[in-house]
Structure 1
Amino acid sequence: MLNSWLPALPATIAAAFVLVLPGAVVGRILGARGLTWAAVSAPLSITLIALAAIAGGLVRVPWNVWVLVGFTALAAALSVLLMWFLRKRGWLPEAEAGRAGLRSGRIVHILSVALGLLLSAAFMMRRLAQMIGVPEHFSQRYDNVFHLNAIRYILDTGKGSSLTLTGFDPTNNPGFYPGAWHDTVSLVAQLSGADIPLAVNGTTVALLTLVWPLACFLLTRALVPSTAGAALTTSAVCCAFAFFPLHLLDWGTLYPNLLSLVLLPAALALALAVFQSPFRAWRRRVVPAVLLVGVLPGAGLAHPSAILTLLLLGSVLFAVLWWRELRRFVHMRGLRRFLWFTAALAAYLVVFVVLWLKLRPSKFGAHWPPVTSPGRALGEALTFSMPGLPEAWFMTLLVVSALVILLRQHRAPWFVMWFALTCLLYVSATGMPDSPYRDFLTQTWYHDFHRLAALNVVLAIPLAAFTLWAIWGFISKVLTRALAAIGATGPSVLKPLAAVLAVVLAGGFGLALQNSTINPNLNSGVLRGQWAFRPDFPKNLLSSDEEKLLRRLDREVPAGSVLIGLPSSGAALAYAYTGRSVILPAMGSTPSPDDLNLTTGLNSLDTDPSVCASAKKLNAMYILDFGTTDLAPSTATYTFPSSADLSRLKKVKLVDQQGQARLYKIEGCR
C-alpha cells in the first residue's frame, strides 16, 4: 500500500521544505532553541506564507516561491533588528543574550525527539494511506469544491491574498477568506509540479507526520518535565484518536480548520511559557512572547477560530494566575501587584469579549442544530465518540487518569480546566437547545460538534501522554528497587534501562493503540473516512469515469472557454483539474441571471433565445453532464437538466463520453 504513495514523495518533500525552512530561519533569529525551535518553525512559516501572499497582492506581484523567499529575508532582517534592540535594552535573559552552550543530555533529547517523530509518522502514514487509498484521490466533500478551485485560481492568477480570495468565484466580490492553507498548497504544487489533488495530499502528509507531532511534543512538555519523555509518550497517542486529525479530512472537508488546529498546540505551549514564568523573572517571558506574536497571524489566517480559541483558553490561564495572586494578597498583602493583575485581567476580558462577539461567524452560518441530549453529549465528549463511531475507552482511561493525578497533585490546573471547557463546548453545541447562551459559547465553531470534538482531542493528547509518563515513572521505580535489592544501582545500569523502558513503552503503547480491538474508535474513524476518498462511493462528487473525462478535458475544450455544469455533480471541479472556468465554481455559488439561464433554463435552449444569449455572453459553449446528484440540495437555488433532457436538445453535440459522463458542445446558437 505504501509503495503506491511514491508519486506523492516530491510533493511531500516540497511541503516539508515550505512548512519548515522559512520559519526555522526566523525562529532561530528570534531565540527559539531545541524542541521549541523545531515545533514553532512551521507555525512561523505559515505566518510568513500568509502575510507574504497578502503583501504580494497589495503590490500586485504574482504569488510564487520567490515572493516567500523575499518576504522571509525581510522578516529575518527585521528579526535581527528586534533582537538587537531587546539585547541593548537588557530585556533578554542572559542565556538569550549570547550563544548558549551545549546542555548536558542534548544528544539524548535530539535522539528521543527523532525517535518519537519516527514512531508518530509511521503510525500516521499508515492510517493516511488506509484512509485516502492512493495519493491521487481527494476528499469528495462539499467544501472541497471551493478549496480545490481556490488553489487553481491562485496558480492561474497569482492572487493568493486572503483579503481577496473569495474573488475567484465570479458570483462573489473579492473579499476575505483565510487562505494560509491554499497559499501553502499552491506553493507545493509549483515547486513539485504535482497536480492539485497530489499537492493537497503531499501537504497533508507533511502536516500530519511532521508538524503535528512536533507541536504536540512541545505542549506535552508543559506537563512532562523532560523533552525525551514528552516526545516518546506523545508519539504513542497523537495518532490514536479518530476525531483529530483524521476526521477533518472526511468532514467538510475542513482543511483550513485542520491547519489551525495543527498549529494550536505550539501556540498554547508558547502562551504557557509566557504565563508560567515567575513574576520577577519577566525577561524569561520575552522570547516566548515574541514567538507567540509571530505565530498568531498564521493561526488566524489559517482559520480565525484559532485566535478565538487561544483567547478563550488564555482567559483560563489569566484567571488561574489571578486566583493565585488573590491568595498571595490575602497572605502577604501585596496590594500593588494584586491590583496590577486585576487590571490586566479586566482589560484582557474586555478585549476577549469584544473580539469573541465580533469575529465569530454570523448566526446564519452557524446553522448546525443540537442532535442529542446533554447527558449523552457529555458521554460522547468523554469517550471521543459519536453515533457510528464507537467509544475510545482506552483513551478515556488515559485522559481521566491524568485529570485525577493532576487534581490530586494540585498541578497544572489549566490543563484540567481546558479539557473541562472543551467538553462544555461540545455539550453546548450537541445537546443544548438553541438559545443566546448556546450562541455565545459555540457560534464561533458554527455549532458544529465535529469541530469541537477535534478541539477536544487536541487538549486530550497531552493528558493521555502524561498518564503514560506516570506509568513509565512507576515501572522505573519498581525496577530500581528490584535492582537495588541485588546491588545493581549505578548510573551505568539505571540510565540505559530507563531509556530502553521508555522506548519499549512508547512503541508498545503506540502499537496497541493502533490495534482495532484495543482501540476500535480509531479504526472505525479510518473506515468511515474511506468513504470520502473513494471515487465510486454513492453520492461522492466524481466517479472514476467522470475523473477520466476531466483529465482529458483540456485537450477538447479550448483555453478561455467556460463550462456549464451542476457543481454538486462534480462538474465544478473541471476548473481545479484543467483550468477551464466553470459558471459556478463552488457549491455555495450564488447564480447570476445568466447562470440561471444556463442551469434552470438550459432545458429551453432550443426555444428560448435568452439562453443562447447568456451562453454567448459568458463564452459558455460546453456542457458537462455528470448527472444531477446533489450533496446539499437545500443550498441550491437552481436546478439542472437530467441526462435524458440534455440528450434531447437539438442545439448540442456530444463531444466525448466516458461511461455515463458526457461532454456536450452548444453549436446551434447564432
Structure 2
Amino acid sequence: MTWAGVAPPGLLLWAGLLLPGWAFLRPLGVRGLVALGAAPAVSTALAGVLGLVYPLVGVRWNLLTAAAGVCGGILLAVAAGLVLGTAQRRSTDERHALWLPPPLPYRSAWPLLGSTLVACVLVGGPMAAAMTTPESPAQAWDAVFHLNAIASIQDTGNASVLGGLAPLYGGRPTYYPSVWHALVAVAPGFTSVVPAANTAALVVGAPVWLVGMAAFTRVMVHQRDLPVLVAPVLAATFVAFPVVVLTVLAQEPMGLSMALLPGALTVLVVALRTRWFWPAKASAALALLAAGAGVALAHGSGAFSMLALGGLPVAVVLARQARQGWAAGRPLAVVAGITAAAGVLATVVVLLAAFPAFLATLSYERAGSSSYLPILAKLITDTPQVYWYGMGFGNVVVMALALAGAVLAFRHRRGRRLVAVLLVAVALVLLAAGPPENPLRTVTGVWYTQAARIAPLAVVPAVVLASGAFGMVADRLTRQVPGRYRKPAARAVPVALLVLVVVLTGGARWDLKSRITASVHEPGAIAWGTMLTRGELAMIERLPDRLPPDAVVLGDPFNGSAYLPALAGVDVVLPQLGPVPGAERRLLEASFRDLHDDPAVCGAARALGVTHVYTDTADAESGAKVSDRTAGLRDIDTSSGFTLVDSGGTAAVWQLTACSVTGL
C-alpha cells in the first residue's frame, strides 16, 4: 500500500475513534470542542469494556460486533442523558447544564481547523517520510510485540486486556493493555497489519493528540480565542510526544493513552467547574468516568498520568468546596464526601496492592544519572530523553514562551495550578532519570522509571502556558500598530509570529522527527540493532506461498523470525523479544544448536510442533540485534537435518528434518 492508499482507511480509523465517543458525550451535555477533544478517550473506553465483556459471553471481536457494542453503549448514554435532563441541545436550567467554555465564533473556527491541519502535517509529515512506505515495519523491542498482538486478535477474536494476548505468552493468560491493538485489528480498509499499525501511529500522534490539546487549551484559557488557535502548532513542535513515544520507544498503547490525556483532562476541568446540582454534576461525572477509563484502559500508566496532572487541582478545588460547604452549614455533606473519597482511595490502593503486575512495575530498576542538571537541560530544550540523535534545532523558543506563560500565570494568580502541574511533571522526569538511590524514584515505576515515557506529561501544561504567552505577545504587538491598520494586524501579527516560531524551530523540528522515525524504520540504521533487512523482508513476503498452513517456525526472535505472524501469517515458537514462558522454549533458546548431540533438544522441538527453522548469519558487528538469552538459536549447523526453503539477505528458512519421527 502507498500513503495515498492508506489515506481513506486512515480517515475511517480516525472517524472510528472520534464519532462513537462524540455520540456518547452529546446526550450527557458535553458539546463543542470539548466533545471533539474527549471523544477518542470515550471511544477507547467503549472498546476496552467490550473487549473485556465479549470473551465472557462467547462473542468474537470483529468490526461488526465492535460496532454493535458501541451502539449499545451510546444508547446507554442517551438513556442517562434523558434521565438527567442533559440530552436537550441547550438547557436553560442550570441544574441540567454543564459548565462549558464559550463556543468559538465562526471567524475563529476556520482558523482553528487550518492550524490543526498544518500541525497534523508538521507531526505526520516527517514520520511518514522517514517510514518511506506504510509497509515498513518498525524495528524495536515493543514494535514486534504490538504487530503480532494485532495479528493475534484478528486470529482469535479475543481483545480482552485480561488474557486476550495469551498466545504471545505461550498460552498463559496475563494482563496486557490491548485496546490499541483491538482498535487497529478491526480498522477497515487495510490489507495487512503493518500499514494499519503505521497509519494508527499517525492518527494517534496527529489529529487525536492535537485536537485534544486544543480542547484542553480552550478550557484553561477560555477568555481569549487566540491561544486555542495556536495550540496545535505549538504542540507540533515537540518531539517528546508523539514522535519519541510512538517510534523509537514503540510504546503504542502508552502513546494512545498519552494522546487521550488532554481530552480527558478537558472533561475533568468541565466536571470541576460544573455547579453542584446533582443532574449536571452526575452527567459530568459520567463523562469524566468514560474519558478517564479510556485513558486507563489504553495503558495502565494512564491512570497515574491523570493523577499526576489532575490530582493536585482536584484536591485544591474539592478542599475549597468542602470548606465552603462547612461554612454554609452542611457539615454532614462534607463529612460524607470526605468519607466517600477516602473509601474510594483505600479501595484503589488495596486493589493495586493485590495486582502483581502493578507491584512489578513499581520495583522496575533502570540506570540513572548522577546529576539532575543534564536531564533538566534536555527537558528545557525538548531533547529526546532516549538515544542520541545529534545536535539540531531545539525547542527553546516554545519553551521560552511556556516559561513566560508560567510567570504571567503566577503573577496574575490565574492559572497557578497549571504551573504547579508543570512542576509536578518536571519533578517526575527528574526523579526517573536521576540518581537511582533516591527513594522517591519508586513513584516513577508505573512509567517503568523511564524519563522518555514521562516527558510527555510536561508537554501538556507547557503547550497551554506557551499558547497563553503567545496570545499576550501577539496582542501587545498588535496594539503597537496605528489604529486604522489594527484590525488587519490583529490577524496578520499572530500568523507572522506563528510562522516565525515554526522557522526558528527548524520547521517544527522536521529533521529531528525524521531522524527519530528513521531510527526504527531504516534497515542498517536501527537505533537498537537491525532485525530485518530489505532482502529478508522480500523473503518473508514469499513465505506464505512457500510454507504449509500448519507450519511452526523456530528462530531467534532478535534476528527477524518474530515478525512472521504479523508479516506472513506464519506461526512461530517465539513471537516476541521478551521471554515466553515454558521449559521447552527456554531449552531451545539456550541449546537448539546442540540438536545433533542432545536428544532433549529434538524432544522439546517435537513438543512445540516445530516444522521449520529460521536462521540469520548477521551479527552485532554488522549492526544486527543479538541477545545472549537466545545464543542457542545462532550458529546452527544446517549441513544435515535441514532442507532449504527460501533465503533473503543473510537470513534463510529451513524445513527441519533432523527432529522428525524417523530422525534423532
TM over 0.5: yes
Q: Work out which of the residue numbers 356, 368, 371 in structure 2 matches 1:370.
A: 368
* Aligned residue number for residue 320 of structure 1: 316
Note closer, same or farther for the CA distance 1:306–1:585 as it changes in structure 2 (3 Å cut): same
Work out which of the residue numbers 251, 254, 257 in structure 1 matches 2:251.
254
Is the alpha carbon distance of 1:272 and 1:221 closer, same or farther for their aligned partners in structure 2, counting shifts above 3 Å? same
Distance 1:202 1:401, change over 3 A: same
Checking the alignment, whether the CA contact within 8 Å between 2:204 and 2:259 is kept in structure 1 is yes
Alignment correspondent of 1:208: 205
- 1:165 counterpart SS class: coil
- Paired position in structure 2 for 1:52: 50
The more displaced of 619-628 and 603-612 is: 603-612
Query: Deviations 1:495-544 (Å, cap 9, x if unpaired)?
Result: x65344444444x145325516xx66x63353133111112326222111
Asked whether the equivalents of residues 322 and 341 of structure 1 are also in contact (C-alpha less than 8 Å), the reply is no
Q: Give the structure 2 partner of residue 121 of structure 1.
A: 120
User: Which deviations, in whole Å up to 9, do the C-alpha atoms of 1:418-449 show, x marking residues without a partner?
Assistant: 1000111111111133343221x211111111
Answer whether contact 2:159 2:165 (CA < 8 A) is retained: no
Q: Contact between 1:244 and 1:458, CA under 8 Å: does it hold in 2?
A: no
Matched residue, 1:147 = 146
Match of 2:422 in 1: 419
Q: 1:333 to 1:25 in 2, by over 3 A?
A: closer
Amino acid corresponding to residue 407 of structure 1 in structure 2: F
- Contact persistence 1:605–1:651 (CA under 8 A): no
Q: Does 1:388 align with 2:388?
A: yes
Distance 2:571 2:637 in 1: 21
For 1:74 and 1:247, the matched residues in 2 are separated by 36
- Following superposition of structure 1 onto structure 2, how do residues 603-622 of structure 1 map, counting pairs within 5 Å? 603-622=593-612
> Equivalent residue for 1:515?
506
Residue of 461, 465, 471 corresponding to 1:469 = 471
Distance in 2 between residues matched to 1:21 and 1:10, nearest whole Å: 16
Superposition map of 1:308-347 within 5 A: 308-321=304-317, 324=320, 336=331
Task: Please point out which of 552, 555, 568 is paired with 1:565.
Answer: 555
Q: Which residue of 1 aligns with 2:632?
A: 640
CA distance in 1 between counterparts of 2:328 and 2:293 reads: 40
Which amino acid in 2 is paired with 1:512?
A: V
- Give the direction of change, closer, same or farther, for the CA distance of 1:345–1:334 in structure 2 (3 Å limit): farther
Q: What residue ranges of structure 1 are gaps of 5+ in the alignment?
A: none
Deviates more, 1:40-49 or 1:349-358: 349-358
Residue in 2 that maps onto 1:498: 490
1:166 aligns with 2:196: no
Residue identity in the other structure for 2:119: S
Residue 178 (structure 2) aligns with = 179
Deviation at 1:99, TM superposition (A): 13
Q: Deviations over 1:455-492 (max 9, x none)?
A: 2223322122121122222223333xx20xx5x7xxxx
* Cα distance between partner residues in 2 of 1:4 and 1:464: 37
Change (3 A) 1:6 1:463: same
Distance 2:162 2:49 in 1: 10
Distance (Å, rounded) in 2 between the aligned partners of 1:115 and 1:287: 32
Of 297, 303, 315, which residue of structure 2 is paired with 1:301? 297
Listed one character per residue, the Cα deviations across residues 176-213 of structure 1 (whole Å, up to 9, x for unaligned) are 2111100011011xx11321110011112222221111
**Which residue is equivalent to 2:530?**
540
Query: 1:404 aligns to what?
Result: 407
Q: Residue in 1 aligned with 2:545? A: 555
Maintained 8 Å contact 2:218/2:227: yes
Taking a change above 3 Å as real, the CA distance of residues 291 and 256 of structure 1, as seen in their structure-2 partners, is same
Asked whether the equivalents of residues 419 and 460 of structure 1 are also in contact (C-alpha less than 8 Å), the reply is yes
Secondary structure in 2 matching 1:655:
strand
Q: What is the rounded CA distance, in whole Å, between the counterparts of 2:489 and 2:75 in structure 1?
A: 47
- The whole-number CA distance in structure 2 between the counterparts of 1:327 and 1:157 is 54
Residue from 633, 648, 651 that aligns with 1:658: 648
Q: Would the aligned equivalents of 2:422 and 2:461 in 1 still touch at CA under 8 Å?
A: yes
CA contact (8 A) 1:536 1:544 kept: no
- Cα separation, partners in 2 of 1:528 and 1:142, compared to 1, 3 Å: same
Q: Secondary structure at the match of 1:404?
A: helix
Matched to 1:308, the amino acid is F
Distance in 1, Cα, partners of 2:108 & 2:341 = 37
Q: Say if 1:665 and 1:470 are closer, same or farther in 2 by CA, change over 3 A.
A: same
List alignment gaps of at least 5 residues for structure 2: none
Cα offset, 1:171, TM superposition: 2.5
Per the alignment, do residues 618 and 304 of structure 1 end up closer, same or farther by CA in structure 2, a change over 3 Å counting? same
Q: Distance in 2 between matches of 1:175 and 1:411?
A: 46
Residues 344, 155 of structure 1: alpha-carbon distance in 2 compared, 3 angstrom cutoff:
closer
Give SS of 1:401's match.
Answer: helix
Look up the equivalent residue of 1:469 and give its one-letter code. Answer: G
1:545-582 per-residue CA deviation (whole Å, 9 max, x = no partner) reads: 11111111111111121001001111111111122111
Q: CA deviation at 1:661?
A: 1.4
Taking the TM superposition and a 5 Å limit, the aligned residue runs for 1:189-204 are: 191-204=188-201
Range moving further from structure 2, 122-131 or 153-162? 122-131
Q: What's the CA shift for 1:638? A: 3.9
Q: In angstroms, what is the RMSD of aligned CA positions?
A: 3.3
Amino acid of the residue matched to residue 612 of structure 2?
Y
Distance 1:95 1:271 in 2: 19
| Aligned residue type for 1:39 | G
Deviation at 1:629, TM superposition (A): 5.0
Partner of 1:39: 37
Query: Is the contact made by 2:248 and 2:519 (CA closer than 8 Å) also made in structure 1?
Result: no
**Equivalent in the alignment of 2:69:** 71
- Report deviation, 1:222: 2.5
Q: Work out the CA distance in 1 between the residues paired with 2:195 and 2:517.
A: 18
CA contact 2:6–2:190 (8 Å) conserved in 1: no
Q: Distance between the aligned counterparts of 1:275 and 1:358, measured in 2?
A: 31
SS for the counterpart of 1:563 is strand
SS of 2:204 mapped into structure 1: helix
Compared with structure 1, are the counterparts of its residues 104 and 198 closer, same or farther at alpha carbon in structure 2 (3 Å cutoff)? closer
Q: How do 1:255-294 and structure 2 match up within 5 A? A: 255-277=252-274, 284-294=280-290
What is the deviation of 1:141?
0.4
Secondary structure in 1 matching 2:265 = helix
For the 8 Å contact 1:569–1:626, the answer to whether it is kept is yes
- CA distance in 1: counterparts of 2:581 and 2:85, whole angstroms: 58
Which residue is 2:436 aligned to? Answer: 433
Indicate the SS of the match to 1:600.
Answer: helix
Q: Distance in 2 between matches of 1:338 and 1:35?
A: 33
Partner residue, 2:518: 530
Deviations along 1:43-80, one digit per CA (max 9) or x if unpaired, are 11111122222222221211111111111221122112
Q: 1:28 is matched by which residue type in structure 2?
A: R
State the shift of 1:311 in Å: 2.4
The 2-side partners of 1:24 and 1:425 are apart by: 33
The structure 2 residue matched to 1:593, chosen from 580, 583, 601, is 583
Shift of 1:225: 2.0
Kindly provide the amino acid, as one letter, of the partner of residue 10 in structure 1.
P
**Structure 2 residue matching 1:611: 3-state secondary structure:** helix
Distance change (3 Å), C-alpha of 1:328 and 1:513: farther
Partner-residue secondary structure (3-state), 2:201: helix
Q: How much has 1:660 moved relative to structure 2?
A: 1.6
Write the distance in 2 (CA, Å) between the matches of 1:355 and 1:93.
42
